[in-house]
Amino acid sequence: MQKTCTNSWCKQPFEITEDDLAFYDKISPVFNRKKELIPPPTLCPECRQQRRLSWRNERKLHRAPCGLCGKDIVSLYPTDAPFPVYCQECWWGDAWDGLSFGKEIDVAQPFFPQFSELQRHVPRLALFHLHSENSTFTNHSANNRNCYMGVAFGACEDCQFGHWVLKSKNAVDCLYVEESERCYEGAYLQHCFEVFFSEHCQNCRQCMLCFDCRNCTNCIACTQKHHGKYQILNAPVSETEFKRVWNELLHSRERFAAMHQSFEDLKRKTPRRATFQVQCLDTSGDDLYRCQNVRYCFNCRDMKDCAYIYDAATLQDCMDSYEHGWLVPAELIYEAHAGMAGFHLAFCNICSHSRELLYCDNCNNEAANLFACIGLKHKQYCILNKQYTKEEYEKLVPQIIGHMRKTGEWGEFFPVSLSPFAYNETVAQEYFPLSKEEIVKRGWKWREEKDEMPKVSKTIPAAKLPDAIDDVPDDILNWAIECEATKRPFKIIKQELDFYRTMKLPIPHFHPDERHKRRMALRNPRKLWKRNCMKCGKPMETTYAPERPEKVYCEECYLKEVY
């Protein structure tokens, strides 16, 4: 079935497959033995993802008092938020009951405005960092210790300024790093130790500026090396020469810049695999591990029978979700943002350890059979946070769905306009950047950003920082550094400085947000193009657009060339 995206600014064609239709039938809820069919989506996959991402603020943090206990907290929401914001202890505690905010639903009126009214009253959780110690500034994270300014950190210790870092220790400014230690400015690293400024490396030790290397030790500026030792620019060197160059690069920005340029020149000559998939069967997408029968999925692990899933793991029979599952399994999830351990959830935002939920927001802890509820825990058979009997619930929900069909609301995720965040505060702005004028024109929210000048003894332009960490005084903790690219001021914290001193790394010249932006730019788009292998000519799908200059090979040709 061919459809056209109904967003006026898109209008792109997209396909609904027979497998898609079978899934919509399977995910459709049943009330009194009658199935309430979920219709095919009206938006293309990218517009659906953009809509979900508009509900996810990862990095825009505020200081605000807890709405219940009054203590100063770090929050995703500014002080002028229209709803109460509670700290971890208060939100998860028993001092409030979500049912006290319950509202009667009017089945003859549009649904989303009624849900929006409930949103303005129910308390929201300030940050999402569960079971963590001394990790106040982490978000959408769990089971961490002594971590700072991280997003999607899981089971980490002493990690800082990263995104999607799992089971790692002392990983700083990293992106998609797993089971690694003492790594810096790494992207897509696994089982690495003391690896700096490198991408797509596995089982490497003490390497710098490396790309697509495996089981390497003491390598600098190398690409696609396997079991390499004491090599620079893919050529062997002595141990003495390696140590000399390593120290030189960490003590001279000029020498580092020259080596970085030589590394980039070497990278351009190396073949790229069309997509990265490990132990996968019948899959399409990129950065996939141990997946079977998944389609158009990106950065996913251990999944089966899924489509249009991003940044997720341990899912089965799911479609159109972002960061669901992750550390614990989930099944039958559709049009959902975030959450863990769910079963049969549709059109939900950050719902975990729950089942049979429709249009719910932040409902957890064995919640079940809820429709349009916010912030409920351990509750069943509720609509707009109002308690019903099982019989009343199963009679009323089909009536609501029937009217939603008439208004075109049934089968759609929450609108961007209902998000508790301004569009430019969310991850949607990272993947689908828009100007203020475009955002306002679409009826979405925009928030002006203001940098507060930190309390410091002095401000120093980044270009005037000493090259070598040994020449940096401890007093830098009292300075503001002016970002070399954006001029935004930022500070160095003690934990961060200790890491730089231990690893002999220079002080960064860019604001943390700018560093994050540059790391994200290292990734290929989450989009597939059809093109031919540049070696054998065989048709393939790839995340490299046809106009890009890299040599892109199919999996078979890549393996013959590199291994």
Q: What confidence tens digit (pLDDT) does each residue in 436-470 have? A: 999 999 999 999 987 777 778 899 999 999 999 99
Q: Is the pLDDT of residue 327 over 90?
A: no
Average pLDDT, whole number, for the chain? 96
Q: What average pLDDT does this structure show over 164-178? A: 97
Quote the CA–CA distance of 148 and 138 in Å, as a whole number: 6
Share of the chain above pLDDT 90, in %: 95
Are the C-beta atoms of residues 478 and 456 closer than 8 Å to each other?
Answer: yes
pLDDT exceeds cutoff 80 at 388: yes
pLDDT, residue 455, reads 79
The pair of three-digit structure tokens given for residue 84, joined into one six-digit string: 């109460």
Domains of the chain by residue range:
168-269, 458-519, 529-562
Predicted pLDDT at 563: 81
pLDDT at residue 31, as a whole number: 96
User: What local confidence, expressed as pLDDT, does residue 24 receive?
Assistant: 98
Angle value at C-alpha 91, between 90 and 93, nearest 5 degrees: 60
- Per-residue model confidence as pLDDT tens digits over 208-249: 999 999 999 999 999 999 999 999 999 999 999 999 999 999
- Residue 440: the pLDDT is 97
- Dig out the tokens for 95 from the structure: 């001092």
Give CB contacts under 8 A, 24+ apart, made by 92-100: 92/125, 92/377, 95/68, 96/68, 96/123, 98/122, 98/373, 98/374, 98/375, 98/376, 98/377, 98/379, 98/385, 99/376, 99/379, 99/382, 99/385, 99/386, 99/387
Q: Residue 340 has what pLDDT? A: 85
Confidence of residue 325 (pLDDT cuts 50, 70, 90): confident
pLDDT in tens, 95-128: 999 999 999 999 999 999 999 999 999 999 999 9
Would the pLDDT of 39 be above 80? yes
Least confident of 99-103, 127-131, 264-268: 127-131
- SS3 of 215-272: the string is CCEEEECCECCECCEEEECCEECCHHHHHHHHHHHHHCHHHHHHHHHHHHHHHHHCCE
Structure tokens at 59: 């990095």
Question: Quick one: pLDDT band at residue 384, thresholds 50, 70, 90?
Answer: very high
Give, as one character, the DSSP assignment of residue 437.
Answer: H
**pLDDT score recorded for residue 324:** 87
Q: How far apart are alpha carbons 454 and 259 in whole angstroms?
A: 35
340-347 mean pLDDT = 94
- Say if residue 343 is exposed, middle or buried (CB neighbours under 10 Å; 0-12, 13-18, 19+): middle
Spatial distance between the Cα atoms of 126 and 74, rounded to a whole number of angstroms:
7
User: How would DSSP label each residue in 506-563?
Assistant: PPPSS-HHHHHHHHHTTSPPS--EEEE-TTT--EEEESS-TT--S-EE-HHHHHHHH-
Calculate ∠ Cα 521-325-151, nearest 5°: 40
Q: In this predicted structure, what is the pLDDT of residue 147?
A: 97
Region of residue 417 (left: phi > 0; alpha: psi -120 to 50; beta: else):
alpha
Please compute the mean of the pLDDT values over residues 503-524 and round it to a whole number. 96
Strands 304-339 and 342-349: parallel
Which pLDDT belongs to residue 456?
83
Cβ atoms of 512 and 490 closer than 8 Å: yes
Enter the DSSP assignment of 393.
Answer: H
- Closest to 284 in 3D by CA, of 11, 473, 15: 15
Banded model confidence at residue 562, pLDDT cuts 50, 70, 90: confident
Quick one: average pLDDT of 173-195?
A: 97
Three-class SS state of 304: strand
